[in-house]
Amino acid sequence: MSSAGELYQSIILDHNRAPRNYRPMPEADRMAEGYNPLCGDHLKVWVRLDGDRISDVAFQGSGCAISKASASLMTTVVKGKTREEATRIFESFHRMVTGQGGPADDLPAKLAVFAGVREFPARVKCASLSWHALKAALEQTGENRVSTELGA
């Protein structure tokens, strides 16, 4: 990777500027918070479930372009998916950004824009923060707080 344009692809810039599903959700069934105290990225993810299916998902918070765009794209991808499907997408996404394989076949195409993040180990935690928050929200009820920073 040699240019900023390869990392910050136009989809990422677009979702950073105009994040989708960017709102609190008072009627949510689940909520989790992602907070990385070292870098300061902080967001909340709300989920509404219809049985086993994610009927609505939203987020709000502050952070860098990578974390914001990742959260925004995540919400567009997991809406309407079952918990199991969402977890599989998370695992596939995680493998890609941590460099344990290219974008897998089961990864929604638009998430492939984050493939460049693997070149920046310091930024993997930004791309994965909202996903860890979503996972925590799906796995347990109540208020959860997760971090993708070691020792945080």
Partner 1 sequence: MTAAPKLGRLDVARIRREYPVLQTKVHGHPLVYLDNGATSQKPRCVVEAEADFSLLANANVHRGVHTLSQQATDAYDGARALLAGFLNAAEPAEVIITAGTTAGLNLVAQSYGRSVLRPGDEILITEMEHHSNIVPWQLVAGSVGARIRAIPVTDRGELDLDAARAVISPRTRIVAVAHVSNVLGTINPIRELSDMAHRAGAALVVDGAQAVPHLQVDVQALGCDFYVASGHKMYGPTGVGMLYGRRELLEQMPPWQGGGGMIQSVTLEGTTYAPPPARFEAGTPPIAQAIGLGAAVRYLREFDWGAVEEHEASLLAEATERVGVIPGVRVIGTAAARVGVLSFVLEGVHPHDVGTVLDLHGVAVRASHHCAQPLMRRFGIPGTVRASFAVYNTSDEVEQLVAGVEEARKVFAG
Binding site for partner 1 (CB under 8 A): 1-5, 7-8, 10, 13-14, 16-17, 38-40, 62-66, 120, 123, 126
Least distance from partner 1 to the Cβ atom of residue 122, Å: 8
Select 4 or 150, whichever has its Cβ closest to partner 1: 4
Select 22 or 92, whichever has its Cβ closest to partner 1: 22
Select 3 or 100, whichever has its Cβ closest to partner 1: 3
Contact in structure between 88 and 76 (CB atoms under 8 Å): no
- Cα–Cα distance, 20 to 24 (Å, whole number): 12
Contact in structure between 47 and 81 (CB atoms under 8 Å): no
Least distance from partner 1 to the Cβ atom of residue 150, Å: 16
Select 109 or 122, whichever has its Cβ closest to partner 1: 122
The values of phi and psi at residue 22, to 5°, are -95, 90
Contact in structure between 18 and 12 (CB atoms under 8 Å): no
Least distance from partner 1 to the Cβ atom of residue 94, Å: 20
Least distance from partner 1 to the Cβ atom of residue 112, Å: 19
Contacts of residue 55, Cβ cutoff 8 Å, sequence gap at least 6: 48, 49, 79, 80
